[in-house]
């Protein structure tokens, strides 16, 4: 067994021990196929007000610009499927990914532990951990690493697992054995496209971010456009519709990550509670939650938009 093979097996074993659902590896190289797709998507303004996606275009496509002498991209998945679905029809709805502790903290800590373990075992290795907060095309690397295929709803899907997982990366200057992409198993299914109330999936594998309920309730700081009146389906933070209808998610199993246990406050919140929650209580209750991203003002804006549509 050569050193690259030995190191690869060691890293994957340690990733499993840290609680990752999957660990796959791809060569740190220029994303040739993704470059024209990203350019087209941005030119068509499908990122809406997310102007930060226009920044660092070159770095998004080449990990070697993020980590000097980068050789490998290690992609790790972590399951967040909850023990209970709180999105009931007669209540305001929160995306499942926001039920527990902010995933940025949880995954970054685990990735940092992984790189420390790599350094202890292998020696001087230079690298950085990335979790959805830097110019890294995590879905592209997930596909390259064999983590799953890109579904028609633009989420990564794994057979016998589904799509309710987070993605994080380690970009390191250590050569490793690479994994192969897997086949696309979406077939002729269009359930995600048919179910989207805002028609955000404009064609298979292409999502117009500016129409997505997750974008409208989290990223959009302005008022939600009136053309989405009556189409929000009571979502006030994020949206799970295109994942909930995906047949592959019947295989989803409850996560075992303590930090992703459901915030007890979310289990008891009624429509009246959401409407009347004060800024101070909101900030205290959700200080370690992804929900804080939209702030109290954003949640109240989303609630008012939904309620106006009911008038």
Q: What is the mean predicted confidence (pLDDT) over 277-295?
A: 96
For residue 61, the domain's CATH number is 3.40.109
Q: Is 258 among the domain residues?
A: no
User: What is the extent of the structural domain holding 148?
Assistant: 3-172
Residue corresponding to tokens 């930090």:
259
Say whether pTM exceeds 0.85. yes
Whether 67 is in a domain gets the answer yes
Alpha-carbon gap, residue 145 to 221, rounded angstroms: 35
> Measuring CA to CA, which residue among 146, 144, 74, 147 is closest to residue 115?
74
Higher local confidence (pLDDT), 276 or 52: 276
Domain boundary residue, one of 172, 204, 228: 172
Strand ranges (E), 208-288 = 235-237
Could you give the CA distance from residue 29 to residue 23 in angstroms, rounded to a whole number? Answer: 18
What whole-number percentage of the chain has pLDDT above 90?
Answer: 83
Q: What is the pLDDT of residue 49?
A: 62
Q: Mark whether 236 and 288 lie in a shared domain.
A: yes
Would you call 132 a catalytic residue per the annotation? yes
In a domain, 177, yes or no: no
Looking at the fold, whether 269 and 302 belong to one and the same domain comes out as yes
Q: Has residue 14 been placed in a domain? A: yes
* pLDDT of amino acid 51: 60
C-alpha to C-alpha distance for 283 and 310, rounded to whole angstroms: 28
Residues 110 and 225 in one domain: no
Please identify which of the residues 29, 62, 132, 233 carries the catalytic annotation: 132
Across the chain, mean pLDDT equals: 92
Mean pLDDT over 75-92 rounds to: 94
**What pLDDT does residue 282 have?**
97
Instruction: Give the total number of structural domains in the chain.
Output: 2
Give the residue, 65 or 311, on which the prediction is more confident. Answer: 65
Is residue 86 domain-resident? yes
209 and 116 within one domain: no
């Amino acid at each position: 067994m050569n050193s690259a093979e030995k190191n690869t097996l060691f890293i994957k074993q340690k990733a499993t021990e840290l609680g990752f659902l999957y660990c796959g590896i791809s060569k740190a190289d220029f994303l040739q196929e993704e470059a024209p797709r990203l350019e087209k998507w941005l030119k068509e303004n499908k990122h809406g007000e997310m102007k930060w996606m226009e920044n660092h275009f070159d770095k998004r496509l080449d990990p070697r610009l993020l980590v000097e002498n980068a050789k490998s991209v290690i992609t790790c998945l972590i399951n967040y499927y909850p023990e209970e679905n709180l999105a009931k029809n007669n209540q305001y709805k929160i995306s499942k990914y926001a039920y527990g502790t902010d995933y940025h903290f949880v995954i970054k800590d685990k990735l940092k532990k992984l790189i420390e373990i790599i350094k202890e075992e292998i020696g001087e290795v230079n690298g950085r951990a990335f979790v959805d907060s830097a110019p890294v095309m995590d879905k592209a690397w997930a596909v390259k690493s064999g983590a799953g295929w890109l579904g028609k709803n633009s989420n990564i899907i794994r057979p016998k697992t589904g799509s309710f997982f987070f993605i994080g990366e380690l970009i390191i200057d250590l050569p490793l054995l690479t994994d192969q992409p897997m086949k696309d198993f979406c077939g002729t299914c269009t359930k995600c496209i048919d179910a989207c109330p805002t028609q955000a999936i404009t064609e298979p594998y292409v999502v117009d971010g500016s129409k997505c309920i997750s974008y409208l309730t989290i990223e959009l700081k302005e008022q939600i456009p009136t053309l989405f009146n009556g189409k929000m389906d009571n979502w006030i933070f994020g949206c799970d519709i295109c994942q909930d209808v995906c047949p592959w998610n019947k295989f989803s199993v409850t996560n075992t990550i303590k930090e992703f246990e459901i915030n007890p406050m979310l289990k008891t919140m009624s429509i009246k509670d959401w409407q009347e929650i004060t800024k101070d209580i909101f900030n205290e209750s959700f200080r370690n939650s992804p929900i804080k991203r939209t702030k109290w003002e954003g949640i109240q804006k989303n609630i008012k938009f939904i309620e106006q549509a009911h008038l």
